[in-house]
Chain A
Amino acid sequence: MTMNATLFGQAIWFAIFVWFCWKFVWPPIITALEERKQKIAEGLSSADRAERDLELAQEKASKNLREAKEKAAEIIEQAKKRSDAIVEEARDKARTEGDRLVARAHDEIEQEMNRAREELRQEVSKLALKGASMVLEREVDEKAHEQMLKQLATEL
C-alpha cells in the first residue's frame, strides 16, 4: 500500500461525478418523483370526492324515488276516490232515472187502463142500451132513459 498522487486523481473524479449528479441527474428524477407523488395524492383525493359524490347522488336518487312513490300512491288514492265518486254518482243517477221511468210507465199504464176502462164502459153501456132496446123494442125512449143508462155505465 503506497500512498501517492492517485489521491488527487480520484478526488478529481469524485468532484466531477458528484457535481454532474448534483446538477444533471438528481433534479429531474426527484422532480418526476415529486410530481408523481402529487399526482397520486390528487388521484386519491379525487377518488374520495367521487365516492362522496356518488353517495350523495345515491341518497338523492333514493329520496326522489321515495317521493315519487309517495306521490304516485297519493295520485292513485285520489283517482280511486274520484272513480268511486263517479261510480256512486252514476249509480244514483241511474237509480233516479230508473225510478222516473218506472213512475212514467206506471202513469202510462194507469192512463191506458183508464182509457180502456172508459172505452169498455162505453161499449158496455152501448151494448146494454142495445140489449135493452132489443128487449123493449120501440117502447124505450132514448131520451127518457139516458140519465139512467149513464148512471149504469158509471157503476160498471
Chain B
Amino acid sequence: MSEKIEPTYYIQHHLQNLTWGQVPAGTERCDGQVLESSQWILAACSQELEAMGFWSFHVDSLLWAGLLGGVFILVFWLMARKAHSGTPSGMLNFVETLVEFVDTQVKDTFHGRSSLVAPLALTIFVWVFLMNLVKLIPVDFVPYVVMETTPLEYFKIVPTVDANITLSMSFSVLALMIAFTIKAKGVGGFISELTLQPFSADNIFFKIILIPVNLVLELAAMLAKPVSLGLRLFGNMFAGEFVFILAAALLVGWQAVVSVPWAIFHILVISLQAFIFMMLTVVYLSLATEEH
C-alpha cells in the first residue's frame, strides 16, 4: 500500500467485492497463466472477475451479512431466553423496547393474522440496521487489515452496498407477498388480481381483451415493488459509501473533514433506511392480504 495509487484504481478497487466463482477453461489468470480446465477460484484481478459468470458469490457480502445476522439472532435469542414478566434490565430492556417498537408498527399497519410478519419485520429492521452500521467503520480499515494479513485482493464489509444483497432480500419479500396473497385469496384470487384489474368491463368479451393489458400492468407493478425496495436501500448505501471512498481517495490528509460529518449524518440515513425497508415490507405484505 506504500506505492502511490491512482484514484480511479483505488475507487474501483474499493467498489469490488471479494468474489468466488467458476472460471471457464482458457481463462488467463492474473499472473498470465492460462487455465486448462474450468475452476472455482477467488478472483484477484479484473480479468478473472470478467471471466466469471452468474454462478459466482460475493464471499465478503455473504460473510458479513451472515455474521451480522448471527449477531442479531444470538443477542436476541439469549435475551428471549431470559425474558420474563418482571422488571427487565440492561440489554433485555433494550431488546424489549425494539420488539415493542416493531410490534406497534406492525399492528398499526398489518391487520391480518399472520404471526410471521412481526418477527420478519424485526429481523429486517435490526439486520439491515446492523449491515448499514458497519459502514461507519472507516472505509480503508478492514480492507487494509485483511489485505495485509491475507493474500486476498478485495474485501468489502458493508453488505447493503452490494445490490445482490438488497435485491435478494426484496425479492424474498416478493416471494412472501405472493405466498400471502395466495394464502389469503387462493390461487384464483391471485390470478384474478393479476388479470382482471385495474381495467375491468361488464362485457365478457371486453374482459378477455383487457386481460393482457392488465397482466402487463400488474406484473410491472408487482416487480416494481421489490426492485424499488431493494434499489432504494442499495442506492442510499452505495451513494454514502461512494462519498466516503471519494473523501478517502481525493482529500489525502483531509479525509476527516468530510468523513466525520458525513458519518454523523449517516447515522440518520442508516436507521432511516432500515426503518423504511421494514415498513415497506409490512405495507406490501398488508396489501397482499387485504382486498382492494
CB-CB contacts below 8 Å: B81-96 with A: 81, 83-86, 95-96
Bound CA span A79–B49, Å: 117
Which residues of A have CB within 8 Å of B81?
A: 28
Which residues of A have CB within 8 Å of B177?
A: none
Q: Is the CB of B99 within 8 A of A17?
A: no
> Are A6 and B58 also in contact (CB < 8 A) when A21-B73, A28-B80, A36-B85 are?
yes
Q: Is the CB of B80 within 8 A of A29?
A: yes
Q: Is the CB of B120 within 8 A of A22?
A: yes
Count of chain A residues near B, Cβ 8 A: 34
Main secondary structure of the interface of A (DSSP, over half): helix
Bound CA span A14–B65, Å: 9
Q: Is the CB of A3 within 8 A of B164?
A: yes
Q: Is the CB of A4 within 8 A of B164?
A: yes
> Are A10 and B84 also in contact (CB < 8 A) when A4-B55, A4-B57, A25-B73 are?
no
> Are A5 and B56 also in contact (CB < 8 A) when A28-B81, A29-B83 are?
yes
Q: Is the CB of A18 within 8 A of B120?
A: yes
| B118 at interface, CB cutoff 8 A | yes
Q: Is the CB of A7 within 8 A of B171?
A: yes
Q: Is the CB of A13 within 8 A of B69?
A: yes
Residue on A nearest B176 in the bound complex, by CB: A18
CB-CB contacts below 8 Å: A8-35 with B: 8-11, 13-18, 20-22, 24-33, 35
Chain B min CB distance to A139 (Å): 145
Chain B min CB distance to A45 (Å): 16
When the two chains form the complex, which single residue of B80, B119, B164 contacts A10, counting CB atoms closer than 8 Å? Answer: B164
Given contacts A10-B62, A22-B119, 20 further A-B contacts (CB under 8 A): A2-B49, A3-B54, A3-B167, A4-B19, A4-B54, A5-B54, A6-B17, A6-B57, A7-B167, A10-B65, A11-B171, A11-B172, A14-B169, A14-B172, A17-B72, A18-B119, A24-B80, A28-B83, A29-B99, A30-B118
Binding site for A on B (CB under 8 A): 17, 19, 21, 49, 52-58, 61-62, 65-66, 69, 72-73, 76-77, 79-81, 83-86, 95-96, 99-100, 103, 115-116, 118-120, 122-124, 127, 159, 162-165, 167-169, 171-172
Which 10 pairs show the lowest CB-CB distances between chains A and B? Answer: A35-B85, A10-B168, A6-B164, A26-B119, A32-B83, A22-B119, A6-B58, A28-B80, A7-B168, A36-B85
